[in-house]
Structure 1
């Protein structure tokens, strides 16, 4: 059975979890309650509780929706093939990161809220890590292997750490008011990836 769609084209579940993400950004973890989701989403009281009975269930659903939305932004499945060389990969990664920083910074803030909460809730930690492993870690490992890495997991970790540090600095840290341009990001990716992978013949 197809889920009923709202006036915006989203399912009721998407409306609830998107609203939960908005609340995390605007009010923090303490502001995320079933009642607050109902009120902000314009839903009848009890709608969110009917969808996610417990706070844990609501958090898990929100983590799942966050992973879906970030996967859409990152679009790792659309990364260029190895035949495009490092330049093609560098161009694609700089475009994706710039898009994330300039158009989807709220998703980053929501992720930080959920990540911190996961450090206090072991049951959420397991779910949070599993969502990230399936959506991001495994595809990045494959991406680095395709780029010629002989240690794809280690190189993927270095790539993630560099991106995460930059994203936190620009979304919630000291550089929140000075997001780097795409060319600056491209230079950073080039330095990082060429340092890890080197240049293949013809590049």
Structure 2
């Protein structure tokens, strides 16, 4: 593993275990088992350390989510399974997900980090638009935002909220119900489900 990855991995662990206040250059050196000053040599400022950490976190999330997204665009019937698996993967890695929440909150206070965080987020949101378009959404950009928000809510509830960890079946059924509400609407009935004679 490259030293930059070692530093970023230690930073992710510190964020998950101690929060943003526990993330210092010295703490990263200690957690990574590196000589004092190693982290400062790679990322001189706190902003640079946060950027390095977010880049590594994004790479880890892309790698973790890749198996759920292989095989091309899923069918409408397969889509709830694909989305449920993506949420399950994020819930399963509590360390990574908690670190991302810490970085998301910090991004609300640091415009430079906000720009980087939003760019990283588009790498996950843009594929969601393609998935919803392939599933027949009449407004894939809006529906993708809703699906991502719904998934984020389930993740937060399981990892940082008061909820329990949902089963794969629970996640699939939740996604099936959400998608049904989005995609099974007839615009000629004012947004209500079309009734069949």
TM over 0.5: yes
Extract unaligned runs of 5+ from structure 1. Answer: 1-9
Query: What is residue 193 of structure 1 aligned with on the other side?
Result: 179
- Tell me how many residue pairs correspond in the alignment: 185
Query: What is residue 9 of structure 2 aligned with on the other side?
Result: 18
Do the aligned partners of 1:79 and 1:92 also contact (CA within 8 Å) in 2?
no
The 1:96/1:77 distance shift into structure 2, 3 A limit, reads closer
> What is the DSSP-based 3-state SS (H/G/I as helix, E as strand, rest coil) of the residue aligned with 2:109?
coil
> What is the DSSP-based 3-state SS (H/G/I as helix, E as strand, rest coil) of the residue aligned with 2:77?
helix
1:173 aligns with one of 132, 137, 161:
161
TM-score by length of 1: 0.85
Show CA shifts across 1:46-84 (max 9, x none). Answer: 1111111111000011111111111122227825544x5
CA–CA distance in 1 between the matches of 2:43 and 2:106? Answer: 18
CA–CA distance in 1 between the matches of 2:170 and 2:146? Answer: 19
* Aligned-residue offset at 1:118: 0.7
What stretches of structure 1 move > 3 A for 4+ residues in a row? Answer: 79-82
CA–CA distance in 2 between the matches of 1:190 and 1:63? Answer: 31
1:87 aligns with 2:77: yes
Do the aligned partners of 1:38 and 1:44 also contact (CA within 8 Å) in 2?
yes
* Aligned-residue offset at 1:95: 2.2
The 1:100/1:77 distance shift into structure 2, 3 A limit, reads closer
TM-score by length of 2: 0.88
CA RMSD of aligned residues (A): 1.7
Larger mean Cα displacement after TM superposition, 165-174 or 70-79: 70-79
The 1:131/1:76 distance shift into structure 2, 3 A limit, reads farther
Show CA shifts across 1:154-193 (max 9, x none). Answer: 0001101100111111100011xx2110111111111011
Q: How does 1:53-64 map to 2 (within 5 A)?
A: 53-64=44-55
Show CA shifts across 1:109-153 (max 9, x none). Answer: 1111111111111111111111111x2111111221122222111
The 1:99/1:139 distance shift into structure 2, 3 A limit, reads same
Do the aligned partners of 1:21 and 1:62 also contact (CA within 8 Å) in 2?
yes
CA–CA distance in 1 between the matches of 2:104 and 2:86? Answer: 22
